[in-house]
Structure 1
Amino acid sequence: MHTNIDDLTAFFNLLNSLTALIAKLNVRQENARKKAIELYNLGSFQASERYLNIGAAAGDRACQYALGEVLRRQHGSITEEAKTAYRLAAAQEDVYALLRLGDHQSLDQARQLLLPRIEQRDGEALLQMYELTKDITWLKQSARTRFPEAMYILALEYDRDSSLLLPGENAGELIDLWLERAAHVNFPLAMNWYTNRQKVTTFPSLRREWLEKTAALNDLYGVLKYGFALGHGESGGDPEYGYKKNYPLSYALISLVVNSAPEYQLHNSAALFLDELGKAMSQQEIDLALKVAQTWKDSHPPLSENRLTYHGI
């Protein structure tokens, strides 16, 4: 059999071109996936939907579940479109997607997926079993494994329902206990709440320490609170936390929130405060603040609301 060398060359050139094209598509899909999750975590649901569709179509389970969540939020219920996204994630054994679907078959599948993980005392599986059954025993077991979301949710439940208390138990003490434990493993929702508990507010330096730790994780609310605190106080000190004025850092932090999260519920308040700060600053101070903002952005994880994965949303 005779093979023309020119035909072989053309074939290999075509193969290389296809390989390069696939690589470019994979890079674009990965970039879209990262962008989708970042926007979703920011609470920028409208902006994230386009990118989530790309990630979901590429088979990314996190994007499929997040897309279902976005569609559910938009319509205030689980529509057929949302179910389609959840089903894609559920086909990859996403337990939360199965819980959202909520039909008998899905819930039974979720239970079967959880059982072997529960035998291993997997904290997330124990929390998911709580979400499936609403039996507080599972939530307590999950919290005892120090799974962050479970510790925070247990504090929420004690705050919400006093009937959960056993004889001799004190709701305030239990809330403080679980919030403190969750805060110490850097769970931002717990850190934000714990910062406002009397156990902490009594000690201003401790309260500042927790606020700064939360902001350092680039938690959206923590960054905004820190920025507000640094920019408040006519007499040179913030009345809530006791910070001295630091307009450049305040401007830097609040500008990050304003520019990154236009759908954030506190965006308008942040934008108004930023505008007022700008009026009190020189152009040189604003330029410095923008450099500080860029440095902060480059040296921290992406801003995030750090919402709960499933509970109560």
Structure 2
Amino acid sequence: MKKPNIFNRYIVYFALLFACLETRASITPEQTAAKDKGIELYNQFKAISALPYLELAAKAGDSEAQYYLGEAIRKNKRYIDTTAKEAYEDSAKQGNIYSMIRLGQMEGDLCVSMNNCPKSQKPPKEWLASAKSLAAMEAAQGNAESMYLMYEITGDKKWLEQSAENGFALSQYLLATDYREGGGFFLLPSSRADAVERWMKASAEGGYPRGMSALAAALLEKKDPEGARNWIERAAATGYVEAIFNYGYYLSGKNTDFGFPVDFVKSHALLSLFLELDGGGGAKEDAEYVISKIKEKMNKVQLDEADRFAANWKKTHPALSFFPFKLSR
């Protein structure tokens, strides 16, 4: 049998790439800052507030801003309208696989039930085929994120495993979660537990906040509170809402299994960060309740110190984020 010509395969790859790419826009520092702010607000479940920032960068031609603009509009309206569709298409034409996938999923969008789906430049099946072709080509070059996207497109877990093995932290987290929930085949329960911990640790060490929090929980189950505390603190330092809430809650004297010393000042400071989260998720309300209980045990000097700690934290740490999956699951 004649072996496939690698040179020809590269020609196909670049032909496909250039067919879907339009000239990439060069955006100004101000437009970049707007994009970053828009994504920050989106990740705090403030999709409406994110719109003007994302629109500014999207109009300048930034494909990532265009994708997030489409997502923000879709989240607000709960379906893909004409404006969201156009944002996805502008992004997809620049080779953004996430946007191609979203356009390829329009047949399952709420707009179908509402009978008001905007007409797309290509049928959903064609967009999905383009996404699959480009992701497959990039995966063949060793791109771990594209391997993950192949998993999202095909549902084949072999792609998730390959992505994890190639170091994509999100895939490592998803694979560990799948194993924890009964996926995969293991002869012994201990082998399953070892695999869960191994991949969750890989994800955490790769900097993924959800992996850090999950590893902390796994270490506590193994009676390693010191290790658990370390990963809770590291996850909180990323701005991950769940981790910061847990950290602040434990410092208030709750859930002593982790062995955190009671520190009302630090607890109040961390939980007060949540007062700006008015976009959804219930985190603000939960924090307000715990803060009301902590305040009863603090004096004015401690409250002032907590305010200073919170202000310094905001200056020295990333913004709060729920770290939602880029492709909503």
**TM-score, normalised on structure 1?**
0.82
Give 3-state SS (helix, strand or coil) of 1:158's partner.
helix
Counterpart of 2:209? Answer: 188
* Structure 2 unpaired stretches of 5+: 1-26, 105-123
Counterpart of 2:45? Answer: 43
Q: Summarize the alignment of residues 223-234 of structure 1 with structure 2, pairs less than 5 Å apart.
A: 223-233=244-254
Q: Which one of the candidate residues 143, 154, 160 is aligned to 1:133?
A: 154
Question: Deviation of residue 64 (structure 1)?
Answer: 1.4
Residues 161 and 87 (structure 1), Cα distance of their counterparts in 2 relative to 1, 3 Å cut = farther
* Structure 1 unpaired stretches of 5+: 1-24
Question: Deviation of residue 126 (structure 1)?
Answer: 0.7
Q: Which one of the candidate residues 272, 279, 284 is aligned to 2:289?
A: 272
Contact 1:200 1:207 in 2 (8 A): no
Counterpart of 2:163? Answer: 142
Q: Which one of the candidate residues 251, 263, 284 is aligned to 1:246?
A: 263
Question: Deviation of residue 78 (structure 1)?
Answer: 3.2
Question: Deviation of residue 79 (structure 1)?
Answer: 3.5
Q: Which one of the candidate residues 266, 270, 274 is aligned to 1:257?
A: 274
Residues 107 and 246 (structure 1), Cα distance of their counterparts in 2 relative to 1, 3 Å cut = same
Identity %: 29
**CA deviation digits over 1:72-102, x for unaligned, max 9?**
2233333433222211211221101100111
Give 3-state SS (helix, strand or coil) of 1:42's partner.
coil
Counterpart of 2:73? Answer: 71
Residue 292 (str. 1) matches residue 306 (str. 2): no
Question: Deviation of residue 166 (structure 1)?
Answer: 5.8
Bigger relative contact order, structure 1 or 2 (CA pairs below 8 A, ≥6 apart): 1
Question: Deviation of residue 193 (structure 1)?
Answer: 1.4
Give 3-state SS (helix, strand or coil) of 1:244's partner.
coil
Residues 97 and 253 (structure 1), Cα distance of their counterparts in 2 relative to 1, 3 Å cut = same
Residue 309 (str. 1) matches residue 326 (str. 2): yes
Q: Greater CA radius of gyration, 1 or 2?
A: 1
Counterpart of 1:116? Answer: 137
**CA deviation digits over 1:210-253, x for unaligned, max 9?**
111111222121111111111134xxxx5242222111111111
Letter in 1 for 2:161: K
Between the aligned partners of 1:168 and 1:278, the Cα distance in structure 2 is 49
Residues 286 and 168 (structure 1), Cα distance of their counterparts in 2 relative to 1, 3 Å cut = closer
Contact 1:189 1:307 in 2 (8 A): no
**CA deviation digits over 1:10-69, x for unaligned, max 9?**
xxxxxxxxxxxxxxx956534422221111122222322232222222222222111222
Between the aligned partners of 1:165 and 1:73, the Cα distance in structure 2 is 37
Over aligned residue pairs, what C-alpha RMSD do you find?
2.3
Residues 166 and 202 (structure 1), Cα distance of their counterparts in 2 relative to 1, 3 Å cut = closer
Question: Deviation of residue 200 (structure 1)?
Answer: 4.9
**TM-score, normalised on structure 2?**
0.78
Residues 302 and 26 (structure 1), Cα distance of their counterparts in 2 relative to 1, 3 Å cut = same
Contact 2:236 2:243 in 1 (8 A): yes
Between the aligned partners of 1:289 and 1:73, the Cα distance in structure 2 is 35
Between the aligned partners of 2:326 and 2:90, the Cα distance in structure 1 is 17
Q: How many residues align?
A: 283
Letter in 1 for 2:125: H
Between 1:152-161 and 1:105-114, the stretch displaced more is: 152-161
Give 3-state SS (helix, strand or coil) of 2:58's partner.
helix
